[in-house]
Amino acid sequence: MINIRYCLVLILSVATISVKGQVRDANKGNEAADMFNDPSTRDINAISAAEAGWWKWSATGQKERVEKWKKATFGMFVHWGVYSQYGNVWKGKKGGGYAEHLMRVMHIPRQEYLDSAARFNPEKFNAEEWVTLAKNAGMKYFIITAKHHDGFAMYPSQYASAYAIKSTALKGDPLAELARACRRHGLLFGFYYSHAFDWEHPDAPGNDWDYTNPGGDKLLGGANWFDNHPEWLPKAKRYVDEKAIPQITELIHKYHPDLLWFDTPHKLPLSENLRILKAIRATDASIVVNGRLARTGDKNYGDYLNTADRPEEFYPVSAGTYWEAIPTTNDSYGYSSTDKNYKPTAHFIQLLAKATAMGGNILMNIGPKGDGRIDSPDVAILQGIAAWMAKNKESVINVDPSPLPRQQWGVITKRGSILYLHIFDKPKGDKLTVGGLTMGVKSISLLSSKRRIKNYISDAVGLHIPLDQIADDLADEVIVVQLKQDTVAPDTNELVFVDPNIAQNRLLSFYARQYGDPMKFGDGKRDRYYVSGWKNSEQYLGWDINVLEPAGFDVSIRYVKDVENAGGEMILKIGGKEINFLIDPSSPTSGRGNSILIGQIDLPKGKQTVELHAKNIVGTETVKFLELILRHDKK
């Protein structure tokens, strides 16, 4: 039903082991959906050799090595380099996009960028402060950029020319200091390394302003340049042999990392990515490797799946799949003085709860300044998370997803016979209903205060908890439900409960059943948690809902119309009725979400089905649907 190429539900095989322009499109080439290779004959031969030999052997230890990362749950991602001293401004001009892409966006010549490195002097860098902030926020692993796309080694590398920390005013080794601090405080430690995208090396993909190289914005030779121009490949192999593999193995021998994190594998052919992974496994088979080193559209040769950058919602992945999302505090990974779009602390607390409720990890990014300080908004966010974690950590670290149905007030995590109810949106009225929780309950309490909750009742619908005994944490109030036994057996976890006492009941297209030809998932960023590829009337979406009380609702649809002449006539089947509505094909295009009120409906109590159909599609496909929203009509 799901198109794996686009939604990236990449399951490790068990050997099968299951394991813009410039500023306008500044983030092009750095999105998860495109970060894989379509195998050519060359790559198929490399796959066959790997699966018959070294990869088959290394995959036998996958579960053991990845479990330490999975239990860690929450990590700090740090993008820090020469670019940090500029804050995404070069010679008075804003760079745009991710600040760590400043060199590419502004076409800074290689030598000029190197000259600027001499001014990089992080006198206020303090590894102990960085790691303590992470630890207090409940983070259990830490990943720092050892070399980003600019090609600059943030450590004393013998395999770098002048493009290394020795060319800066900082003569120490910040990575060694961070490694020691992490080990003192019990955090797993690792590196981000840009293996396939290097703007410094004359043979590497990426830099097409100093060199005539593929892999850059000019798309010399096309996106799959290595297939269109195989005669260019020896040059890239030389870069891999002279810099990428030597530096990666150097990092392993020098710092003994627990984790290695890679990016943009599509800049090299799969055969080269597999060669790099082979070198890692031969050097230290216990290292956890993320999913952006070597993968095709349907197979991941790393240890876990990476979903979207900067997500707000998570598309579904297969049960038991190891996965990680990488939000950042504002809209850049490296420090940007021009980006003030910081999310509130509650956003990250809720994002972590949502991820763990679906079986995922969160690697949360900050971008320290060039002088070594962590920016004050980042510190405030980390300290806010720390205050919440001091009382609630057990509800999100090393927990399991709950198989209970989806609830409108929040999410549920689980550890053994304990359920943790994460209340994001406290209902009005007199009770909070946990739909589908009909098992025996031993006790209920507030996690933050340990205060017992009394006078709760259970019935065939679920567990009902008096609201007057639930505190108000605007981020996430956690209720602990101790079951009489370790079992939860709901009707189906695809069921969605609808509560008139919740401000808005959301039916996300991510969690709808798909009928007809598979649709594709968006990456989960703001206004990109949609399905697309809706091209014919045989396709439709469906949700099973259970309405807790009969009520009238205003019905709205949210969607993204980012291509011209898209839309058409739609039908929503709900409450035994049909609501016909039109999405005007001539309406303006935008990457932002649109919301339209399509009608009112009275819904009876109990289980029922909701379906969204396309009656008449204009253009090659209809718009990208985000969600259906039901708001109780209080008139």
For 413-426, the pLDDT digits (tens) are: 999 999 999 999 99
How much is the average pLDDT of 468-476? 87
Band (33; pLDDT cuts 50, 70, 90): low
Inform me whether the pLDDT recorded for 27 exceeds 70. no
Dmax over CA atoms of the chain, in Å, equals 75
Inform me whether the pLDDT recorded for 10 exceeds 70. no
Residue 634: predicted pLDDT: 64
Inform me whether the pLDDT recorded for 485 exceeds 80. yes
Q: Write the CA distances from 364 to 69, 326, 351, 379, 382, integer angstroms.
A: 14, 6, 10, 13, 10
Inform me whether the pLDDT recorded for 17 exceeds 50. no
Nearest 5 degrees, angle CA 2-CA 561-CA 327? 65
How much is the average pLDDT of 302-311? 87
Lowest-confidence region among 48-62, 135-149, 360-374: 48-62
| Ramachandran area for residue 523 (φ above 0: left; ψ -120 to 50: alpha; else beta) | alpha
How much is the average pLDDT of 178-200? 98
Inform me whether the pLDDT recorded for 26 exceeds 80. no
- What is d(CA 605, CA 546) in angstroms, rounded to the nearest whole number? 7
Inform me whether the pLDDT recorded for 18 exceeds 90. no
Instruction: Give pLDDT tens digits for 425-434.
Output: 999 989 999 9
Percent share of the chain, pLDDT over 90: 84
Instruction: Give pLDDT tens digits for 333-390.
Output: 999 999 999 999 999 999 999 999 999 999 999 999 999 999 999 999 999 999 999 9
Cβ-based neighbour number of residue 94 at 10 Å: 18
Lowest-confidence region among 19-28, 103-112, 286-295, 513-522: 19-28
Residue 486: predicted pLDDT: 79
Q: Write the CA distances from 452 to 353, 419, 423, 447, 481, integer angstroms.
A: 22, 15, 17, 9, 10
Residue 34: predicted pLDDT: 63
- What is d(CA 104, CA 309) in angstroms, rounded to the nearest whole number? 19
Instruction: Give pLDDT tens digits for 93-127.
Output: 999 899 999 999 999 999 999 999 999 999 999 99
Inform me whether the pLDDT recorded for 25 exceeds 60. no
Band (270; pLDDT cuts 50, 70, 90): very high
The two three-digit tokens of residue 121, written as one number = 């002097």
Q: Write the CA distances from 183 to 127, 141, 484, integer angstroms.
A: 12, 10, 39
Which residues lie across from 505 on neighbouring strands? 630
Which one-letter DSSP state was computed for residue 55? H
Please name the residue that has the structure tokens 């496909």. 621
Helical H segments across 186-259, by residue range: 225-228, 233-239, 245-255
Rg (CA), the chain: 25
Residue 1: predicted pLDDT: 37
Question: Helix, strand, or coil here: 190?
Answer: strand
The two three-digit tokens of residue 373, written as one number = 């300080």
As a dihedral over the C-alpha atoms of residue 249, residue 252, residue 257, residue 258, rounded to 10 degrees, the angle is 70
Residue 318: predicted pLDDT: 84
DSSP assignment of 446-486: ETTT--B--S-EE-SSEEEEEGGGS---SS-EEEEEEESSS
Q: How many CA atoms lie within 13 A of 238 on its CB side?
A: 9
Q: Which residues have C-beta within 8 Å of that of residue 585, sequence separation ≥ 6? A: 565, 566, 567, 568, 618, 619
The two three-digit tokens of residue 341, written as one number = 């779009």
Report which secondary-structure segment, H or E, holds 41.
helix 41-52
Please say whether the beta carbons of 193 and 157 come within 8 A: no
Instruction: Give pLDDT tens digits for 559-613.
Output: 999 999 999 999 999 999 999 999 999 999 999 999 999 999 999 999 999 999 9
- What is d(CA 382, CA 345) in angstroms, rounded to the nearest whole number? 8
Task: Report CA torsion sign: 143, 145, 148, 151.
Answer: negative
pTM, entire model: 0.92
Please say whether the beta carbons of 141 and 188 come within 8 A: yes
Task: Report CA torsion sign: 103, 198, 183, 117.
Answer: negative
Inform me whether the pLDDT recorded for 12 exceeds 70. no
Cα 623 versus chain centre, distance: 24
